Structure 1
Amino acid sequence: MRITCVGGGPAGLYFAVLAKLADPAHEVTVLERNPPGVTYGWGVVFWDDLLDELFAYDRVSAQRIWDAACKWDEYEVRATGKAVTHLAGYGFSLGRHKLLSLLSERAVELGVRVSYRSDLSDTPDADLVVACDGAGSQLRSSAAVHFGTEVSLGRNKYIWLGTPHVFDTFTFGFEKTHAGWIWYHAYPFDENTSTFIVECTPEVWSALELDRLDAAAGCARLETVFAGHLGGQRLIDRGNGWMNFRRVTNQRWDNGNVVLMGDAAHTTHFAIGSGTKLAMQDAMALADALALPGDLPQALERYEHRRRAALAPLQRAALASSEWFERMPEYADLPSTRFSYALSDRRGEYPLWRYLLHLSTQRSVPRAMLRSALSARRWSRARRRPDAEPRVPLLTGG
């Protein structure tokens, strides 16, 4: 089969790897519009469930990702006028550039042709074309009526920045200015750099004149606002500018031999940090669907059915999370512990015992015990991964 992935992000590169592993005779090409090493964003986050799946599908690339990842074992919440609090949980982060480099290297090792600076405007000549060229997909846009594409904009403004200040762990920071509240989502992704996503309501954005300042002046303004969090370090803008989150949905994901994947098919708000995870799980599901008996239309139907079922709860959670941040000022007067718990439970899913656990782990000894338990669980799980059983293609599930 001749397969072309339009877009060299995590979805396209990982599917190319899996397609070659499934059948080395497949002719697999990845087309990317940018030059090598150029990518949007800074770092990505993921959790154990994705790592387990990565090891089950391709142990080689999974081990490289695990080795390169930055590990953190709690969340920290800082807010003007409130004591610092902590949330239970752990995860991993990795520079987006590093992730793409690892996946492209693995793809090339397996015989995939990766072509940079490619024109993505026309549908390639292939048996299967995977449109994984992002939320603004050109391939999808050319047949938007067929796919039933709908795009809605979130209310808040946000900007994706980086900083040489290396945060100890995943940190939420909220600052009250003369214009109102503004906050960041930050996490380290290598020994020298952290992602720093700034978000605020449009009213605060305008009142701070961030709508009128250029990139350098805007970063300088934000450095002043968040001076107490940055340790004297600067903020770096790669030119993406301020945005409103685009929630992309499609009524159907295939059109003949063209199928949507990753952000081209669906987006989830960055506040739950699942974009990369979902894109790579899309790749797994499509690889599984193609491995089962049947023709291409049947395979694409199986793929879409499986992924829609898995996505539904996450999309609801992402919507609830983004709406919480749009209402954030309503929670600002809560005491520190209740405020951070409201942030943690912004999807509205937690039972009472989670609040009791949250209260107890604000004290140093219970918090240290919980972190130790989570750390032991993480490393125990990691030791089991290289011996994971080979995957079996599934008709349903995430």
Structure 2
Amino acid sequence: MKVACVGGGPASLYFSILMKRVDPSHDITIYERNPAGSTYGWGVTYWDQLFNFMHRVDPESARAISESSVRWDSWVVHIHDRATITVENADEGSGIGRRRLLDILAERARSLGVHIAFEHEIGGEEELPDADLIVAGDGINSVLREHNADHFGTEIAVGRNHYVWLGTTKVFDSFVFAFTQTPHGWIWCYGYKYSGEHSTVVVECSPETWEGLGFHEASESDSLAMLEKLFADVLDGHPLIGRTQVDGSAHWLNFRTVTNRRWYHDNVVLIGDAAHTTHYSVGAGTTLALGDVAFLVDALHGHAELEPALARYQRKRRAAIKAPQRSAHYSSRWYENLPRYIDLPPQQMMDLLDQRTSPVLAHVPPKLYSRVGRIREGLATLRSGGRSWRTTSSE
């Protein structure tokens, strides 16, 4: 099969690796519009479930990723000047720099005979007339998807809150949440390390807080200076690092949830963010994209004809991601309704942060839900010897 992958992100690279692993005779080219070594974003999170899958299907790249990753097994939640809650023996996670991840996957793909064409932008499927299969891994702004948006049935829902993705030289020992109160409302961040020198920091707030603090008209340098003051306690004097814009503005965004009624059209198939997006607060984007790859490769090698294979991929994978998509939706709604929870006693607020993907939380009084949740958590801890909690309160 002659395959063209549009977009050089983790999904396209991993797809090419798995396809070559199954059948080395596949002729695969990846087209990436940016130069080699250039990428956006800071760190990528993943969990043991994803790593175990990767180790089964391609041990070589899994080992290289593991060697370049850093790990954590605790959370620390700072609630302004009221309390700091430490959760020991939490779900163990890992982080790796996005650029390093891409380098590892690109090197592995090349070693298997995949051709990667950097600085080669594809404007439409008509530019790839010889391809038997065109894989659209070109992200949330997919050109290939937009060319056939009516067929794919693309819908985009824009989130209410503003967020910005940043880096820092502060290396967090734990996965960090920090909630800061301002005269204009609450602003919060998530932080996690992805190397021995850097961490990712994602900052989020409501539109009222965003405008009240002046971020809507602040330059990037002014925005970073304000955020460094707001989160001085967790940054320990370390700077925040932005993503340079041509006009000097900060890269604030509203999260866009992308869904598609169909995931393929003729010989074009969607994977990763081109097919679906899930809110960053559940940290599942990379995991779901690589899961798409596994389902697609399995479908392609289970059918001799392309159309039945793509139909199977669409049917099976759409069903498989419904649960994480729902969790991401409820998680984003929890943050959009933060005032409902933030004034609870710190331990109760932490309980609800931990349970934010629950579909019933928004419909139950928070204090009642927290009491029930604490009983359930206590029973689970007694049975498994799991998490331990430590709270330092300033109240």
Q: State the TM-score, normalized to the length of structure 1.
A: 0.88
What is the rounded CA distance, in whole Å, between the counterparts of 2:379 and 2:170 in structure 1?
30
User: For residue 167 of structure 1, what is the aligned residue in structure 2?
Assistant: 172
User: For residue 183 of structure 2, what is the aligned residue in structure 1?
Assistant: 178
Code of the aligned partner of 2:27: E
Code of the aligned partner of 1:196: V
Is the counterpart of residue 304 in structure 1 residue 323 in structure 2? no
What is the rounded CA distance, in whole Å, between the counterparts of 1:226 and 1:357 in structure 2?
33
The one of 242, 248, 256 equivalent to 1:237 is: 242
What is the rounded CA distance, in whole Å, between the counterparts of 1:178 and 1:360 in structure 2?
40
Matches within 5 A, 1:1-398: 1-87=1-87, 88-123=90-125, 124-125=128-129, 126-239=131-244, 241-348=251-358, 355-356=374-375, 370=386
Code of the aligned partner of 1:304: Q
What is the rounded CA distance, in whole Å, between the counterparts of 1:275 and 1:139 in structure 2?
20
Question: Per the alignment, in what secondary structure is the counterpart of residue 313 of structure 2?
Answer: helix
Partners of 1:11 and 1:261 within 8 A in 2? yes
Question: Per the alignment, in what secondary structure is the counterpart of residue 343 of structure 1?
Answer: helix
- Offset from partner CA, 1:330-356 (integer Å, 9 cap, x none): 211111111111101011279988624
What is the rounded CA distance, in whole Å, between the counterparts of 2:332 and 2:38 in structure 1?
28
- Offset from partner CA, 1:108-155 (integer Å, 9 cap, x none): 000100111111212123100000100110110111011000011000
1:239 is displaced (CA, Å) by 3.0
User: For residue 394 of structure 1, what is the aligned residue in structure 2?
Assistant: none
Partners of 1:73 and 1:371 within 8 A in 2? no
Runs ≥4 in structure 1, deviation > 3 angstroms? 349-354, 356-362, 369-372
Q: Any gaps of 5 or more consecutive residues in structure 1?
A: 373-398
1:294 is displaced (CA, Å) by 2.9
- Offset from partner CA, 1:316-339 (integer Å, 9 cap, x none): 110000000000122111111111
Code of the aligned partner of 1:93: G
Question: Per the alignment, in what secondary structure is the counterpart of residue 37 of structure 2?
Answer: coil
Q: CA RMSD in A?
A: 2.0
What is the rounded CA distance, in whole Å, between the counterparts of 2:380 and 2:68 in structure 1?
30
Distance 1:276 1:136, change over 3 A: same
Code of the aligned partner of 1:131: A
What is the rounded CA distance, in whole Å, between the counterparts of 1:15 and 1:108 in structure 2?
13
Q: Percent identity?
A: 44
Code of the aligned partner of 1:147: F
- Offset from partner CA, 1:233-275 (integer Å, 9 cap, x none): 1111113600000000001000100000000000000000000
What is the rounded CA distance, in whole Å, between the counterparts of 1:360 and 1:317 in structure 2?
23
1:357 is displaced (CA, Å) by 7.1
Question: How many equivalent residue pairs?
Answer: 367
What is the rounded CA distance, in whole Å, between the counterparts of 1:13 and 1:223 in structure 2?
36
1:370 is displaced (CA, Å) by 3.7
- Offset from partner CA, 1:141-183 (integer Å, 9 cap, x none): 1110110000110000000000000111111110001111000
What is the rounded CA distance, in whole Å, between the counterparts of 1:213 and 1:353 in structure 2?
44
1:361 is displaced (CA, Å) by 11
Q: Any gaps of 5 or more consecutive residues in structure 2?
A: 246-250, 362-368, 389-395
Partners of 1:271 and 1:322 within 8 A in 2? yes
Most deviating of 316-325 and 52-61: 52-61
